[in-house]
A and B are shown apart, each in its own frame.
Chain A
C-alpha cells in the first residue's frame, strides 16, 4: 500500500531494463526499501546490483511486449503476491526511421511493441488496480507524439496513439482511486538514443525519474520533462506542415 507520506512498497516495471525505470526505482528507494518486479524479455540478464544495494528486493518475470496473448499470465503472476502500488509501463523501441518508413515488417514491429503491447499492458494494469481499489500507473509517452516530424514519425505515431489511449483511461477512471499519469519527456539521453544527435530541451533519465516520483506523489495527470516542454509542444502543434519536413 502507498502510505500517508506517499511511500510506495511494490512496483511493477514493464520493460524492466529501461534506464528511466531504473532511475525511477533509485529515486523511490531514497524514501526506503521497496520490492520491484521487473518484467522484461530476458529478465535474468537484467543488471540489478545497484538497486539491491539501495534496498530493493528484486523479482523477475519474463515479458514480451508483442506477445500480448501472454500478458494476462504476466499480470496474474505479478499480482499474485501483495498489492502493487505503482505500475511503470516503460518498454518501447525507437526503431530506425529510415528503414521502418519503407519496410512494413519492421514498422509493424515498432507499432506492435510501442502501441499494441502498451495498450494491452495498460488495460491489464487498469483492471488489476481497479479491482485492488488503489494504485498508480505511469505511462511513458513522448514529445514525439505531439506532432509528426520527418525524422521520427514512426516512433512518434506509436506514442501519439498510446498517449491518446491513456488520456481515455484517465477519463474512465475519474471516480476510482487509481491514478494514471502520462509522462511526456523530450529527448532523453539513454542507451536507446545513444548515437543520435540530442535535441533542444534534452534531459537525463534521472531528471525524468525525479518528475515521475514527484508526479506520482501529487497525483499529477500529465508530466512534461522538462516542464517548459509543454509550451514547446504547443508551438510545435501550431507549426505549418512544410516546416516539419526537415525537422
Chain B
C-alpha cells in the first residue's frame, strides 16, 4: 500500500453554498484507494468527481475527500457491441469524445457532460429520456466496487442485485466505484433532430407530454417560472431523437462532434442583479416568444449541454451562490404540482425545467413514475428556507420526494417520508460499512447513515 499525499482545502458544491474544509487526496490509480479508505479516521472518506453536484454530497468536512479525476482511463471498448469499460473518474465528456466517432453515444446523459462515470452511478443520474430508458445505472452491465472494508468486488446488476441497487443512487456511501462497464446506444450522426412546441399553460403542457412523449426518445420542457395565473406553467417543449443519416447533409462527417465556442465566467463577475426582477422576466418572455414550433437540427452539445458552453456559469450567481430544488410528485398529484409551481413564481426561479419520469430503481433512487421539476434559485431570495420547507411538505404529502444528489438544505425529518425504502437501503449500507468509514456533509446533515 502506498501513501497518497493530502492537501487541506475548502470545497463546495456547484451551488457554492455551505463549503467545508477537507483533506483532499488525488490518487493516480485505483491501487492507492484502498489505503485511503483504510486510513479513514473519525470523519471518514468520500469520493468526489468533477464537483457538479449542487449541494454538499461530495464534500466531507474535516475528513478525507478522494479526488477521482486522476483515475480516468478508458479500459475497453468493443466497437461492435457498444460495451465500454472505464475507470470511475472518466468524464462523460471524454467518453463521448472516445465513442461518438464510432457511432455510439451515452445511454443516459444529464444536462452537463462534466460529470464522472462514478458520480453518475453514485447519484444514478437521469436525463431527458428517463420516461423511456430509465436512469444511468440501468445501462451499467457491471461495476467494480471498493467496499468500505477494503475489499474489491465485481458487482453484477443481476447476480448482486441488492448491492448494485444500493450503490446506484447510494451517494457514494456503499464504497468507491472504481470502474464500470456500460452499454452504449448506437447513433448514425452527432446531430439531434429536435421538435419544438410551445404550451400556453400547465394544462396544455401536461396534456401534450402525456399524449405524445412516447413518440420521442428525449423530452424536456423549459418552463417560464415567472408566468402566473392563467399562464402558469407556460413553456417550451424540447423533444427529439438522434438524427439519422438521412436527416443531415450527405457531404459532412456525420459523426464529428462539433463543439461551439466556449466562454468562461471570470471569478467575482456576478450577474446576480440580472437574474431577478425585470431582466429575468424579459428573458423568460423572449425565450417563450422566440421559440419556433417545428423541427430543427442541433448538435448534441447544443441539445444536451447548452450550459457547458459557459465555463463556471455558477459564478454568475455571485458570492451568495444558488441551489437547485428538484422534486418529484407522482402522476395523479397534478394539484400539488400546480400548488408548487405557483408557490415558486415569487421566488424568482432563474431556470425551471419539467419532465416525466418512468420506472423507479433502487431503494434510494430518486425517479419514480410522475412529474419532476428542477428550479435554480439564488440563495439570496428572502424567506427561501421557509418557502422550501413548505414545498417539502407539499411534495412529501403528495407521495413525492426531492433529489438528494442535488440537495443542500432538506430537513432530516423529511427523509423517511420521502424515501419509504430508506431502512432497506440503510440495512445494506450498514452491513457493508459497519465502521462508518464512508461519510459526507450531506450524510451528516440528513443523518442518512445510522
Contacts and interface: CB of A to CB of B under 8 A. Distances in A.
Interface of A: 1-7, 9, 31-33, 82-83, 130-134, 175-178
B409 A5 contact: yes
B259 interface: no
A133 B323 contact: no
B18 interface: yes
B444 A1 contact: yes
B43 A4 contact: no
B55 interface: yes
A178 B323 CA distance: 22
Contacts of B62: 130-134
A2 B385 contact: no
A82 B10 CA distance: 21
Interface residues of B, number: 33
25 contacts: A1-B444, A1-B445, A3-B408, A4-B55, A4-B56, A4-B409, A5-B323, A5-B384, A5-B385, A5-B409, A6-B379, A6-B385, A7-B385, A31-B386, A32-B385, A33-B413, A82-B444, A131-B43, A132-B61, A133-B63, A134-B21, A134-B62, A134-B441, A176-B21, A178-B21
B69 to A, nearest CB: 21
Nearest to A82: B444
A28 to B, nearest CB: 11
B10 to A, nearest CB: 5
B17 interface: yes
A1 B61 contact: yes
Contact of A177 (B19, B321, B408): B19
Interface string B50-67: 000001100011110000
Contacts of A5: 17, 323, 379, 384-385, 388, 409
Contacts of B20: 1, 133-134, 177
Given A4-B55, A133-B43, A134-B62, A9 B21 contact: no
Main secondary structure of the interface of A (DSSP, over half): loop
A167 B333 CA distance: 54
A79 to B, nearest CB: 11
Contacts of B413: 33
B389 interface: yes
A218 to B, nearest CB: 9
A32 B411 contact: yes
Contacts of A33: 411, 413
Contacts of B118: none
Nearest to B413: A33
B244 to A, nearest CB: 43
B21 A4 contact: no
A71 B384 CA distance: 38
B15 interface: yes
A4 B15 contact: yes
Interface of B: 8, 10, 15, 17-22, 43, 55-56, 60-63, 321, 323, 379, 384-386, 388-389, 408-409, 411, 413, 441-442, 444-445, 447
Across the A-B interface, give the 5 residue pairs with the lowest CB-CB distance, nearest first.
Answer: A133-B61, A133-B62, A4-B408, A4-B17, A1-B445
A130 B62 CA distance: 7
Contacts of B323: 4-5
Given A4-B55, A4-B321, A4-B409, 16 more contacts: A1-B20, A1-B56, A1-B442, A3-B445, A4-B17, A4-B18, A4-B379, A5-B17, A31-B385, A32-B411, A33-B413, A82-B447, A131-B43, A133-B63, A134-B62, A176-B21
B411 A2 contact: no
B446 to A, nearest CB: 9
A200 to B, nearest CB: 32
A178 to B, nearest CB: 8
Given A83-B61, A131-B62, A177 B10 contact: yes
A29 to B, nearest CB: 12
Contacts of B444: 1, 82-83
Contacts of B61: 1, 83, 132-134, 177
Contacts of B21: 133-134, 175-178
A176 B9 CA distance: 8
A151 B200 CA distance: 72
Nearest to B61: A133
Nearest to A30: B386
A176 B321 CA distance: 19
Contacts of A31: 385-386
Contacts of B18: 1-4, 134
Given A32-B389, A177-B10, A3 B447 contact: no
A50 to B, nearest CB: 20
Interface centre among B62, B386, B389 (most CB of A within 10 A): B62
Contacts of A9: 445
Contacts of A134: 18-21, 61-62, 441
B381 to A, nearest CB: 9
A4 B384 CA distance: 10
Contacts of B441: 1, 134
Nearest to A83: B444
B231 to A, nearest CB: 29
B67 to A, nearest CB: 16
B434 to A, nearest CB: 19
B300 to A, nearest CB: 31
